[in-house]
Structure 1
Amino acid sequence: MSNLTIQEKKYKKFITIVSIVVPIAVAALFGIKIPDVEPLRFLPPIYATMNGITALLLIFSVLAIKKGNKKRHELLNTLAIVCSALFLVMYVAYHMTSESTPFGGEGLIRYIYYFILITHILLSIVIIPFVLFTFMRAKLGQFVQHKKIAKIAYPLWLYVAVTGVIIYIMISPYYG
């Protein structure tokens, strides 16, 4: 068995575990409230900003690779993964210390908000393995496969990052 195959198997095992554990952990932690802790009400604008930064990093990453700058492309994508992970940590911390804020809009805007929210949540689960497999393919030098999966991962990840900001903007007037 070649080193590449062993390395790829390790990556695939890690990606599978992360892709299953993260959504389950987030769902479980979402229901846990830490008693006697000051609510972290300052976090939503920060984690919304992290989503915005992620979106910008993704856009600049594509521009970098189109110009042939692989090093910058890799750096920007690594930073985008870090920003997404930071978002996730802050999001969970906020919801473990604060009550969820109900959306107060009425009529058509309510349906738009929930459509964006539901697609954002579902795609945020779906993109985990897509992003990690895309990253793995690049790390292993499998650029044909990397490019193929990136064509799916990129627009999904960009959608999740942008809609995260939109969701924050739409719900922020209703924060207590």
Structure 2
Amino acid sequence: MIQNKEISADKKYNKLIVVLSIAIPIIVAILFKVRLDFELPVFLPPIYATINGLTALILVLAFFAIKNKKIVLHENLMTTAIWCSALFLVMYVLHHMTSDSTIYEGNFRALYLFVLVSHIVLSVAVIPFVLITYVRAITKNFEDHKKIAKITFPLWLYVAVTGVIVYLMISPFY
């Protein structure tokens, strides 16, 4: 009976997860084509990268918190990581709505493009994983939460870390 309750609690969020998983990338793609007629300060890109780095650190801390059975700390860290990722996304989109894209002109262009493309593709792919993992936690479906968290964690950590790497590689060309 408890299993059915968990499944039905998860199911009520499924439509929202699907909608957000599709809508977020579409909205971001549309907003990338919108140009706002003002410039944001030049010092903001390192702030975006710092938010990505902070997200990576929070994810690692949350991993160790749950391994040490510090459940409330884990919950708080994961919620913070979600908010950091959302803040990063909003700021990053605003940056691209107000600035021209910077072209990488260094010797490691192939490596840069690999990291950038894998970062972008996985940043889209990780959205439903994060949402499903979070829903399974808030609905107390911990067995299924643990299963998907094993996939979500490395994907999300990769996206956060490669966000910093992309910034460090492109920053000399700003």
TM-score, length-scaled by structure 2? 0.94
Query: Size of the alignment, in residue pairs?
Result: 171
Deviation at 1:42, TM superposition (A): 2.8
| C-alpha spacing 1:40/1:20, structure 2 compared with 1 (3 Å) | farther
Contact 2:6 2:141 in 1 (8 A): no
The residue that corresponds to 1:95 in the other structure is 96
The residue that corresponds to 1:31 in the other structure is 33
Asked if 1:136 corresponds to 2:135, the answer is yes
Contact 1:43 1:91 in 2 (8 A): no
The residue that corresponds to 1:15 in the other structure is 17
Alignment RMSD, CA only?
1.4
The residue that corresponds to 2:69 in the other structure is 68
Deviation at 1:5, TM superposition (A): 5.4
Q: How does 1:120-135 map to 2 (within 5 A)?
A: 120-135=119-134
Q: What are the superposed Cα offsets for residues 107-165 of structure 1, whole Å, 9 maximum, x if unpaired? A: xx111100000000000000000011001001111111000000000000000000000
Q: What are the superposed Cα offsets for residues 4-24 of structure 1, whole Å, 9 maximum, x if unpaired? A: 555433311111111000000
Return 5+ residue gaps in structure 2 as ranges.
none
Residue 104 of structure 1 aligns to a residue in which SS?
A: coil
Q: Which one has more relative contact order, counting CA pairs under 8 Å at least 6 apart? A: 2
Q: Which runs of 4+ in 1 moved over 3 A?
A: 2-7
The residue that corresponds to 2:166 in the other structure is 167
Seq. identity, % = 56
| In structure 2, distance between residues paired with 1:99 and 1:41 | 12
